[in-house]
Amino acid sequence: MLKNCIVAQSGGPTAAINASLAGVIRGIQESEEYDRIYGALHGIHGVFREEFLDLTAMREADRRLLWHTPASYLGSCRYKMPDMEQQPEVYEQIFRIFEKYQIGAFFYIGGNDSMDTVEKLARYGEAVHSPIRFAGVPKTIDNDLMSTDHTPGFGSAAKYIATTMLEIAHDTAVYKVPCVTIVEIMGRDAGWLTAASALARNSYNQTPQLIYLPEVPFRKEQFTRDLKKKLQENEDVVVAVSEGIRDEKGEYISSATAAADRFGHAQLSGTGKALENFVRGEFGIKVRSVELNILQRCAAHLVSRQDLTEAEELGQEAVTFTRQGKTGFMTVIHRLSDEPYRYKIQTVSLDQVANAARTVPRNWINEEGNDVTEEMMRYLRPLVQGEVQTDFQNGIPVYLDISHLTGFTE
């Protein structure tokens, strides 16, 4: 009788990944079919090491606090599963542990690389005729997962970016001198997050005046012309750029040497700084760069209620689908309409998701390649709606205790 579950989180943290965890926990707690919930610490590593946090009896108050606690409550990892043909012993070990803990379902909340892990486990499970069900729950602020309208974590990051951009618009408007501000936003290959900065525009400000995404080659000559034109219209110009913008040869604009992580992804930084130096050299005016950095993915004090609601649903529904006998799937959001915003939760087979990235369609970027179109705005608007009240104690937000990760207790 396989009645227990494992849930784990993997990849870069977001402000919504714990809402999905809360959804999985709730789904399991409310089911009659499943018994214990083991939270594996640090992704699949926690399974190998049998490091589990027993979440079975998590109280509702804690689950609510977990819902809007930033980053991965269970910790994370960046681990690429070997091919099962080459290293079957890795899979044998994991499945022995599954058996030991009487695991009936495995839930993995993560992005592209994490879905690769679930997909491989599901495939091995199928090969050995295991009854265990494997489910992926999407997350990534980058919004680059295939087969889903958008990904949990993106809406909250988008709201943070747009809010910050509006506040930067107020800040940069104060001096009456020509001034350029470069805001560097996350996004290696996909410009979704940078596009979201356009949500800051309102009746009294057009910030950011220029937007550059990785989907269109970045030409310094064009940028110089764009900037010259905007500086004629406004004294201060704010430019939103993705960290991953590249020139026509495909080389990163970033001035820093790009090192590669273990998945072969380039580790970028310094795109904003590189453009800052370029503008200073070309224009000789006041220029500053601001890198939103990890703040855009962990600012739980400013999240989208819509985002967290969907994140929870994707987790909870993953449990429902496994109870219906499904395996080897990821839950996804299928949009039915923009306005009023309607969607439904579905599943897709994991082999349609893993190891591919969804970029911004070219026709959602304007012809000049320096702004986004109204289609993009219609897509973005529903995703940042609604706020979540953060509780404060002594002026500082209250989040769920992560002493199991920090190793510190007072």
**CB 257, min distance to a second copy, A:** 11
Applying CB under 8 A, the site for a second copy has a residue count of 71
| Binding region for a second copy (CB under 8 A) out of 89-97, 99-107, 300-308, 337-345 | 300-308
The single residue among 20, 117, 254, 304 that binds a second copy, judged by CB under 8 A, is 304
| Residue closer to a second copy (CB basis): 359 or 385 | 385
| Residue closer to a second copy (CB basis): 5 or 17 | 17
Residues 51-110 close enough to bind a second copy by CB under 8 A = 69-72, 75-78
| Residue closer to a second copy (CB basis): 1 or 396 | 396
The single residue among 3, 170, 229, 342 that binds a second copy, judged by CB under 8 A, is 170
User: Is 42 an interacting residue with respect to a second copy (CB under 8 A)?
Assistant: yes
CA distances from 333 to 120, 139, 153, 310, 325 (A): 23, 12, 13, 8, 20
**CB 122, min distance to a second copy, A:** 24
DSSP state string for 344-356 = EEEEEEGGGTTT-
Whole-angstrom distance, CA of residue 179 vs CA of residue 68: 37
User: Quick one: CA torsion of 20, 26, 27, 32, rounded to 10 degrees?
Assistant: 160
User: Is 224 an interacting residue with respect to a second copy (CB under 8 A)?
Assistant: no
User: Is 159 an interacting residue with respect to a second copy (CB under 8 A)?
Assistant: yes
**CB 225, min distance to a second copy, A:** 21
Residues 269-288 close enough to bind a second copy by CB under 8 A = 288
Long-range CB pairs of 394-397 (<8 Å, 24+ gap) are: 397/300, 397/301
CA distances from 42 to 50, 53, 142, 346, 396 (A): 11, 11, 21, 27, 27
What residues contact 38, with CB distance under 8 A and at least 6 apart?
Answer: 4, 5, 6, 7, 52, 53, 54, 55, 101, 103
| Residue closer to a second copy (CB basis): 2 or 173 | 173
| Residue closer to a second copy (CB basis): 205 or 224 | 205
| Residue closer to a second copy (CB basis): 277 or 359 | 277
Whole-angstrom distance, CA of residue 188 vs CA of residue 214: 7
Residues 190-209 close enough to bind a second copy by CB under 8 A = 199-200, 202-206
**CB 200, min distance to a second copy, A:** 7
**CB 147, min distance to a second copy, A:** 25
**CB 179, min distance to a second copy, A:** 12
| Residue closer to a second copy (CB basis): 293 or 363 | 293
Q: Is the bond leading into 397 cis (omega within 30 degrees of zero)? A: no
User: Is 291 an interacting residue with respect to a second copy (CB under 8 A)?
Assistant: yes
The single residue among 166, 231, 258, 357 that binds a second copy, judged by CB under 8 A, is 166
User: Is 260 an interacting residue with respect to a second copy (CB under 8 A)?
Assistant: no
The single residue among 36, 45, 188, 323 that binds a second copy, judged by CB under 8 A, is 45
What residues contact 135, with CB distance under 8 A and at least 6 apart?
Answer: 105, 106, 107, 108, 118, 318, 319, 321, 322, 326, 327, 329, 330, 331
**CB 48, min distance to a second copy, A:** 12
DSSP state string for 71-95 = S-TT-----PPPPTTT-HHHHHHHH
User: Is 257 an interacting residue with respect to a second copy (CB under 8 A)?
Assistant: no
The single residue among 293, 349, 355, 363 that binds a second copy, judged by CB under 8 A, is 293
CA distances from 29 to 2, 23, 184, 340 (A): 16, 10, 42, 32
User: Is 240 an interacting residue with respect to a second copy (CB under 8 A)?
Assistant: no
Q: Which residues have a catalytic role annotated?
A: 142
| Binding region for a second copy (CB under 8 A) out of 38-46, 100-108, 113-121, 216-224 | 38-46
Q: Which residues pair with 246 in a beta bridge?
A: 252
Q: Burial, 384: exposed, middle or buried (Cβ in 10 Å; 0-12, 13-18, 19+)?
A: buried
The single residue among 173, 258, 266, 357 that binds a second copy, judged by CB under 8 A, is 173
- Which has the closest alpha carbon to 379: 353, 366, 362, 360? 360
| Residue closer to a second copy (CB basis): 58 or 216 | 58
Kind and range of the H or E run holding 331? strand 329-337
Whole-angstrom distance, CA of residue 48 vs CA of residue 63: 26
Residues 354-393 close enough to bind a second copy by CB under 8 A = 381, 384-387, 392
